[in-house]
Structure 1
């Protein structure tokens, strides 16, 4: 979290002022992705990227670990900026499969939040981290399509695909 806080502070502006002086919180998503084979030598630092996107998600839908939510408008803007930070680092590194995986994660988790489906949101995060750290397979792609279609089995299918890809390292809530 301290590396992410430093990046936001370096950008300056209103968002830099909203960074907690001592950010706290576990980083299970970034830690899990760091164990995946795709993280080895990755120029964009997949752990940092995933934690930036996770913090953006928490600014939109939960309790952030890095930034204040004292101003809801600023929190929304900060969340969008952290989504962009993660995606731009991956794009600059030329990792288009990871860009796609994170874009799917952002979209599917927003869909889960819109329907109030916390189990789906958790499964989307587990599957997204597995895909970023280890890669995708046919089962994961089918599970993401099921989630897009609103199928009731989507959360279970995403969680199973995440475990199949990343084993016990797939983040679980």
Structure 2
């Protein structure tokens, strides 16, 4: 992902050496290609620029976090969308929106389960359409949306290996 950010002239000067951890791409490669996994990490970086502690970028000017975050979101979604799986694109769009809602509500505890569960459902994808994992995820997402309860998402996320550093990256 660093090479993608380094290619963008407006971001290259703001690159920093990331701390280890908080990487989701290794959890989804395969089934995502390396390019799509980098897209997922770009989306995470975008979210962290807006709502946490970014891993790869430290924008220097006022408001640059928002612009850099939007650039990461857009470029990440383009890479993910190349696979043509609209469920995954929708899951990531909901992830961004639900995550922003969690931050706005002032309770960041749901961020890690939301991100990990979304990653888990993406990693479990075997093609277009909805399967049992996708239906379980959608119900868990709906519970978060309706009640603010992320426990069903946490149950899904438990199937993944640990993601050290993710919780710290979301703390602001």
Gaps of 5+ in 2: 126-132, 168-172
1:144 to 134, 141, 165: 141
TM-score by length of 2: 0.81
Equivalent residue pairs, number? 158
Gaps of 5+ in 1: none
SS at match of 2:55: coil
Cross-structure match for 2:79: 89
Cross-structure match for 1:28: 23
Name the Cα RMSD after superposition.
Answer: 2.1
2:31 to 6, 21, 38: 38
1:27, distance to aligned residue in structure 2 (A):
3.9
Q: Say yes or no: does 1:169 pair with 2:164.
A: no
2:96 to 94, 106, 119: 106
1:143, distance to aligned residue in structure 2 (A):
1.0
SS at match of 1:65: coil
SS at match of 2:15: coil
TM-score by length of 1: 0.80
SS at match of 2:31: helix
- Partner deviation per Cα, 1:91-148 (whole Å, 9 max, x = no partner): 2332322211211111111111110121111111111111221134322111111111
- Partner deviation per Cα, 1:15-41 (whole Å, 9 max, x = no partner): 222222x3443243222222xx532xx
Higher helix share: 1
